[in-house]
Amino acid sequence: MTLRERLHGNEIAPVEAILFGVVDHGDERSAAESLAELSELADTGEFVVAGCMAQHRRHPDPHTYLGAGKLQELAEAVAQTGASVVIADDQLSPAQGRNIEEAVKVAVLDRSELILHIFGIHARTPQARLQVELARLQYQVPRLKRMWTHLERQRGGIGVRGGAGEKQIDVDRSELRSKIAALQRDLEKIGERKVREVRTRADRFTVALVGYTNSGKSTLMNRLTAAGVLAEDRLFSTLDTRTKPWRLAGGRTVLLSDTVGFIRKLPHQLVASFHATLEEALNADLLFLLVDGSSPQALQQLATVEEVLQQLGAGQIPRIQVLNKADQISDRSVLAPIRAHGGTSVLISALNGDGIGELEAALLEHLATVERELILLVDHSAGALRAEVRQLATVLDERFDERGSRILVRASQAAIEQLVAKGARLAAHPDAEPGTTGPSAPAR
Ligand SMILES: Nc1nc2c(ncn2[C@@H]2O[C@H](COP(=O)(O)OP(=O)(O)OP(=O)(O)O)[C@@H](O)[C@H]2O)c(=O)[nH]1
Ligand SMILES: [Mg+2]
């Protein structure tokens, strides 16, 4: 059942929500400001925000999240606005969720559930649907009791009380566990297939676009590859990885993968179940780490992305920082601390194309450091092979003689092996005559 159905039967009415969160003592932003991201999430989740409430505390209360007085205020706000759900800015423990629900008498969602709900709306492929479903079930297991109390309230509490409800929870829990196991098996199969697909592409240099949600990954993907992927001003527009060839000037192509966006406090169940989707990103040769340079939260978002990449085991992949939305940045001095994160950084606008040339140059520079130069000999008769050389390698120079062409290339070891397997020969020395072939691909 969708969240909307759970809350409202099948009737499609705007669901009004009150957002609440705990913010640090020193944080002087207004409730609306500090809950701005949650508000965007709520909007993406198709809720109408009826109010925002923030409490300054060192830590959330372990039992009720908000303090007693603030919780009372929240209950009053619910009664006044007629909101049918309250949404917390953090993940709530099962007990916190239950206690808040008792106080406010409407459904309680936490940030993780809201993110899962959005993923549920946006999942398109069978794999993404399974992954979201798995994460959702895993999230529910320890929280079944809360969901039950809510259902009970909706039904007026008739029928199931005490023991019966408890038993039902046990039954539901074991059902959930077997559903989880089945989903995991299905996903494992898809995962194995995906790993095989990714491996067969190992000879192609792959760049993965990673970054905070809404940073412009899909917009850049569309600009570079005419991929026609959905890009919009909403969080989590992309849930599936799409890989397309990006043709660089000179004919060389690399593969470009667009991936799911990251966000602060991403439920770890989701990170785990999206592992297979992120296979391309995890196996990429290079990451374009996109940052929305126009966002006041850019530094914090960058830190989140770094953290998730570490969790995924992709922390060691070389990266180029891509500072996006240059067209929206009037004061460039704000970019210095973001750039200070080290490595190459390129300022672009995926929207109007500014800086794309520099980005391509930065990629070529990186390729020059990880690939080597050598001469390939290709016979006249092997026209298709010549075309393949141009795709897999950067061609620096080409000369012809009576037997065929001598092509000075820069390429990865994997690409060279692939080309040699298809009949290209290696010149032993850049000055060697055509026909004097090297033994096999020399070691680096
Ligand atoms: N002004 C400006 N807007 C941009 C730029 N690049 C992307 N956008 C806008 O930012 C919004 C998000 O872009 P997407 O490409 O969907 O972002 P994404 O990173 O793929 O987002 P998710 O898939 O949701 O993680 C869209 O409204 C884009 O039009 C840019 O260079 N300048
Ligand atoms: Mg996207």
pLDDT exceeds cutoff 70 at 378: yes
Pick from 40, 115, 117, 65: which is nearest to 267 by CA? Answer: 115
Residue nearest to atom 9 of ligand 1 (CA): 216
Average pLDDT over residues 361-388: 91
Q: Quick check: CB of 324 below 6 Å from ligand 1?
A: yes
Q: What is the mean pLDDT of the chain?
A: 83
* 159 pLDDT more than 50: no
Instruction: Tell me the C-alpha distance between 362 and 278, whole Å.
Output: 24
CATH of domain 3-109: 3.40.50.11060
Ligand lying closest to the C-alpha of residue 347: 1
* 200-368 CATH fold: Rossmann fold (3.40.50)
pLDDT by residue (tens digit) across 26-85? Answer: 888 888 888 999 999 999 888 999 999 999 998 999 999 999 999 999 999 999 999 999
On whether the CB atoms of residues 209 and 259 are closer than 8 A, the answer is yes
Give the other-Cβ count within 10 Å of 291's Cβ.
25
Ligand 1 lined by 404 (C-beta under 6 Å):
no
Instruction: Please give the share of the chain, as a percent, with pLDDT higher than 70.
Output: 83
For 381-420, the pLDDT digits (tens) are 888 999 999 888 989 899 998 889 999 999 988 889 989 9
The residue assigned the tokens 């990170």 is 271
Domain boundaries, the chain: 3-109, 200-368, 372-426
> Does residue 216 line the site of ligand 1, with CB under 6 A?
yes
Is the pLDDT at 260 greater than 90? The verdict is no
Give the position, in ligand 1's atom list, of the atom nearest the Cα of 236: 24
pLDDT digits (tens, 9 = 90+) for 193-209: 766 666 666 667 889 99
pLDDT at 165: 60
At residue 42, the pLDDT reads 93
CA nearest 312: which of 282, 285, 291? Answer: 282
- pLDDT over 90, % of the chain: 42
Q: Is the CB of 222 under 6 A from ligand 1?
A: no
Q: Provide CB contacts within 8 A for 161, sequence distance 6+.
A: none
Amino acid code (one letter) for 168 = Q
Query: Taken in order 81, 84, 88, 89, is the CA torsion positive or negative?
Result: negative
Which residue's C-alpha comes closest to atom 11 of ligand 1? 233
Report how far residue 440's alpha carbon sits from residue 427's, in angstroms, rounded to the nearest whole number.
Answer: 10
pLDDT interval class at 443 (50, 70, 90): very low
Query: What is 372-426's CATH topology?
Result: Alpha-Beta Plaits (3.30.70)
DSSP 176: H
Asked whether the beta carbons of 291 and 215 are under 8 A apart, the reply is yes
Atom of ligand 1 nearest to the CA of 258: 20
Residue entry with tokens 């959005």: 118
Q: Which of 21-25, 132-136, 211-215, 386-390 has the lowest mean pLDDT?
A: 132-136
Q: What is the pLDDT of residue 407?
A: 94
Locus of tokens 């050389």: 389
Q: Do domains 200-368 and 372-426 have the same CATH topology?
A: no
